Structure formats: structure tokens, C-alpha cells
Amino acid sequence: MLVAERMARAIPGRATYEAAPNIALLKYWGNRDPELALPCNSSLSVTLDRLRTRTTVSFDRSRSQDRFVLNGALQSGGPFSAVSHFLDRVRDAAGIAAHADVRSTNNFPTASGMASSASGFAALAGASTAAAGLELSERALSQLARCGSGSASRSIFGGFVEWRAGTRTDGRDCYARMLHPPRYWPSFRDLVLLIDAAPTKSVRSSEAMQTTVRTSPYFAQRQRELPSRTRKMARAIRDRDAAKLFPLVMEECDSFRNVCETTVPSLDYLTPSSRAVIAEVRTLNDEAHRPVAAYTHDAGAHLHVFLLAPDVASVRRRLGRIPGVRRTLVLRPGPGGRRRA
């Protein structure tokens, strides 16, 4: 089809989609193909409830360029280019040339380190494809969302999610899927500790992780450990077995932090308060002689502490007192992405 014909073709034009952030129990950190965003290893996550990104995309043939407004503020530079490049993929796939107006709102602070890129690109994938008249399966949507931010592939789905790395060079076997729905483990909670004075990310994760692949002396060892850790974690989630899962989550978080810190130049995402939370979780588990809670974090200073409902009040009180912990939130596994009217 000629470009002029494509431009003249009728498309729905406008669509809205909502998606939530997710937190990885087993981390994605390193691509085997950065161009196609094909990861070195499979990852496991839980999609969170209550937090949402809501995005409306309107394609309009009279626009001369894309426009991206986030929480009411017109975006330029890096965030704008990332959105506009993503829309180029959608335009290519749909055979359209129109530019778009993109309006996105987060019901949580964008720069809080709450993985707004995962919910952001999942919501953009859902809204832009629907607005462009493409009807994609959730699997295909996860493959597209991955091109904006790897972890966004997982935010298409709710509950406990696996993103399979696959082995094919064309990426056809690389996609996310739901392992268990949100209500599968009713007592599972994520206590989020928002840390004061968290430094803003200076390097994008997608770049930082490739520096790790090239320079960390522990990266190869981590890759060797991951298949067995992934299998054990998936089994512990399936069995709703916190006593097995929580130590694996902390082992994985320590391994992720180790490859970050041994990257040259070193990647240090934590503040002294984040480290104090980690130490306190270890102490409280030692005192209780059982894994009451498991800490994890992504490429930021905030901590996620997994635990079961009966332990929430006491652990929240104890960790909430640590200097530098600004706010605590208690979240459950939540739903996946959804088209909105």
C-alpha cells in the first residue's frame, strides 16, 4: 500500500489503556540482543494493585509531530523521543503515518522509582495499538511493550508473571505470560518503603545493564545460577510456600546487587536508609527463626518487602521507624492491563 493511501485509510484514532507497575522477584538485567530487547534470562514478577498508569493515544492526520503530556506536563528530550520511537513501530505495523497526541497520568509519583516505565510502556502499547486499529493478542502486546522497556512486557498481565527469554534470534519465543492470577495467593503482600532523598537515575536501565554484561566479573556466574533459581522460585510460588520463596527472593536480590556494584563504573542504586532496611529484614528473620519477610529492590533506592498478611502490621511498624523511610504502602497482586472507554 502506498503511504498516501495508508494515510487516507480510516483508523479508530483514539484509545485509552491502563496498566500497573510490577516488581521482579527474579530480575531482568542484561540483553542478549539489545536491538530487539531480547533478555539474557527469563524473569518472574508480581503485578501490583492500586497503582495505575492511564494513557490515551489519539492519532490525528492534521498533526505535524507527536506530542507527549505526562501528568499534565509537556515532555521533551529523552522521554518524548522514547515515546515517539515507540509510536514509529506501531505506525509501521499498522501502515499509518499520522502523528499522535499521547496523554498519560500516573496515580503515583513518577520519579518515585515505582517502575513507571513498566506501567508506562504497557499502557502506551495497549492504547496506541488499539488507536491504530491493530488487534493484538496479549502475548503480542507484551512483545511490543518490551521494545519500550523490558519490564513493561510483564505489566500486560496481572498476578504472578513470567517473561520467557526464549532462544530464537527473531524473538518469537520471547514473551510474558501470567503464571497465576492476582487472587491465587490471598495473603501475599508487598510492603513498599519509599526512601527519602532517593537519587534520580542518571543512566537508563537498558544502557546500565549492558555495561554490567560487558564489565561485571560475576555476570557469567549469575547467568549459570539463574535457571535453577528460576525453577525453584516458580515452584515456591505455585505451592504458595513463603518459607521457600522468601530466601530465594533475597538471594536473587543480593545477586542482582552484586553484579550492579561490580559493574565498571559501579552502579549503586541504594542509600544508607535502603541498606538499613535490608539489614533490619535480615535481623527480624533471624530473631523469628523463620523467613517472615523478603527484601528486594530494582534499579532504585526504594525497597519492596514481601510478606504475608498476618505479619504486615508488626513489620510495617518496625521498618517504618528506620530513619529515611518516608512512606510505606501495602499492596497486593493486582490485575493486568485493560482497555478503558
**CA torsion through residues 324, 329, 330, 335, sign:** negative
Q: Does 151 engage in binding with ligand PMV (CB under 6 A)? A: yes
Residue 150 binds ligand PMV (CB under 6 A): yes
Q: How far is the CB of 82 from ligand PMV (least distance, A)?
A: 11
As to burial, measured by CB atoms within 10 angstroms (0-12 exposed, 13-18 middle, 19+ buried), residue 130 is buried
Q: Which stretch binds ligand PMV (CB under 6 A): 27-35, 213-221, 222-230, 333-341?
A: 27-35
CB 79 within 8 A of CB 69: no
What is the size of the binding site for ligand PMV (CB under 6 A)? 14
User: Is 274 among the residues that bind ligand PMV (CB under 6 A)?
Assistant: no
Which of these segments, 23-31, 91-99, 134-142, 283-291, binds ligand PMV (CB under 6 A)? 23-31
Of 46-54, 144-152, 284-292, 322-330: span binding ligand PMV (CB under 6 A): 144-152
Tell me how far apart the alpha carbons of residues 251 and 225 are, in angstroms, rounded to a whole number. Answer: 11
Give the CA distances from residue 266 to residues 165, 245, 259, 262, in Å, rounded to whole numbers and listed in that order. 26, 29, 9, 6
CA nearest neighbour of 128 among 214, 198, 59: 59
Interface of this chain with ligand PMV, residues 198 to 217, rule: CB under 6 A: 205-206
Using CB under 6 A, which of 47, 119, 149, 212 touches ligand PMV? 149
Residue 294 has which C-alpha cell? 523478603
Report the nearest approach of ligand PMV to the CB of residue 28 (Å).
3
Near ligand PMV by CB under 6 A: residue from 16, 31, 42, 43: 43
Instruction: Give the amino acid at 42.
Output: S
DSSP H helices, the chain, are 3-8, 77-94, 116-131, 138-145, 152-155, 205-215, 219-238, 242-261, 272-288, 312-320
Question: Is residue 190 a contact point for ligand PMV (CB under 6 A)?
Answer: no
In the complex, minimum distance from the CB of residue 168 to ligand PMV, in angstroms, rounded to a whole number: 21
Residues that bind ligand PMV (CB under 6 A): 24, 27-29, 43, 117-118, 149-151, 205-206, 298-299
